[in-house]
Amino acid sequence: MAQFDVIVIGSGPGGYIAAVRAGQLGLTAAIVEKDPSGLGGTCLRRGCIPAKTWLETAHRLEQMQDSADYGIDGVDPKSLRANLENIVKRKNRIVLKNGKGIEYLMKKNKVQVIKGFGKLLGGGQVQVTGETGAELHTAKKIILATGSVPRELPGLETDGVRVLNSDHILDLKTLPEHLVILGAGAIGVEFASTFARLGSKVTLVELADQVLPIEDHEVGKELEKILAKSYKMDIRVKTKIASIERGADKVVCHLEGEKPGVVECSHLLVAVGRGPVTASLGLEATQAKVDRGFVEIDGFMQTSEPGLYAIGDIVRTPMLAHVASDEGIVAAEHIAQSLGNKDVHPHPINYDRVPGCTYCDPEVGSIGLTENKAREKGKDVQVGVFPFMPMAKANIVGEPHGFIKIVADKTYGEILGIHIIGPKATELVSSSVALLGGEYTVNELINTMYPHPTLNEVFPEAARAVHGRALNM
């Protein structure tokens, strides 16, 4: 039996960051991971990182098809095609490299890695079942960071062959002739954008009234328009897949709703969100409260069980890697403080200022309130929208599409939300974080100087558009 100050169960971006921070603060720490392939969790192994390698390949393939327009001769667009085996190989190399990096961080910060399935026994005890059997470990504090898995729908259960989830599709070696995607959230539109550019026919089905349902309504409409026009994508909102028929080489989807019909495809991707991994963790042996699989926590990530913390996708906060990482830091610092370190001062996360990123093409980045949400909160709202089309840098990079939208309070000029669809939107939204929270007003943004030519120049232009006086329009 080994004893620690803190044991972290799960090594995703929340778990491994929590373990690193605990080690930095001088705590004896261990991290438990059941995945035999290594550390990193869903984000590294089956989510954020591998999906973005596919997206990068699709983006480069698209750029190469326009090489002649950039003055580059010798590239025959008709000869270009996706080699999925090599895409997967590159994805695996990147995952392996990043996994080694996490292993190095564990050694550097003196975090012990324990391989196996961790289960709570109560009283600070964790049973880890691995290849050599069960071992018992104890800790003063425990952090649960077990992540999430793709949700399954009755009647649409995935088989990894023709009916896929987001895990399966990352290892496809043959390009789908026709890919139907159920769910137009971030996961759905990213894979739709990827496979349409790689050469698949894509049909995107979404029950809500827009693609990217959690984003601002104008962003959703713009993305739908671009995907349909640029990639000839068949997009069906307010529609669901009522049933399917599985064949040896096809899937027949029966659709109901605003755009009903029968769609025959080679593959179906079910991308309807993710569910928390909390079953079989032994939470019933604790006082922690669980609601439909999600663990209830306070502002410092503490559960109702003394000494037990929960972070990441198993709590009801945004299912984003950067959120999990920040939650891991909060939990580790609160643990260190509770164990006597008076030099650390954990701060609860302000979830109203969480940036969201969708890596389709065009990219989407957002932070703060949408226009509709701001109005629902009773705000006296005014908005400014400015397109990328007039911006020199957007034309230079060949992506003069999309826009930036600022949602502001009319009375005080406070910036309530920023929503971007267009080139490098996921990078641009990073600089938006500092603009929210009342510290910055529309007028101050107007008076902020941005370098030329850059994509960032859209910020003051959108701020001017709030008052109807953009300079480049």
β-bridge mates for residue 236, sequence order = 205
168, 170, 172, 174 alpha-carbon torsion, rounded to 10°: 140
For the chain, the C-alpha Rg in angstroms (whole number) is 24
Are the C-beta atoms of residues 180 and 252 closer than 8 Å to each other? no
Structure-token match 């809500």, residue found = 208
**Residues 6+ positions from 70 with CB-CB distance below 8 Å:** 398
Are the C-beta atoms of residues 31 and 116 closer than 8 Å to each other? no
Query: How far apart (Å, rounded) are the C-alpha atoms in residues 419 and 371?
Result: 10
Structure-token match 């000839």, residue found = 232
**Residues 6+ positions from 142 with CB-CB distance below 8 Å:** 6, 7, 8, 9, 120, 124, 126, 307, 308, 309
Query: How far apart (Å, rounded) are the C-alpha atoms in residues 44 and 312?
Result: 14
User: Per the residue annotation, which of 137, 217, 267, 452 is the catalytic one?
Assistant: 452
* CA nearest neighbour of 11 among 89, 97, 105: 105
Peptide bond into 423 cis (omega under 30): no
Query: How far apart (Å, rounded) are the C-alpha atoms in residues 360 and 401?
Result: 13
Peptide bond into 362 cis (omega under 30): yes
Q: Does 419 qualify as catalytic in the annotation?
A: no
Q: How many CA atoms lie within 13 A of 89 on its CB side?
A: 5
> 344-380 burial by CB neighbour count: b if 16+ within 10 A, else e?
eebeebeeeebbbbbbbbbbbbbbbbbbebbeeeebe
Residues with catalytic function: 452
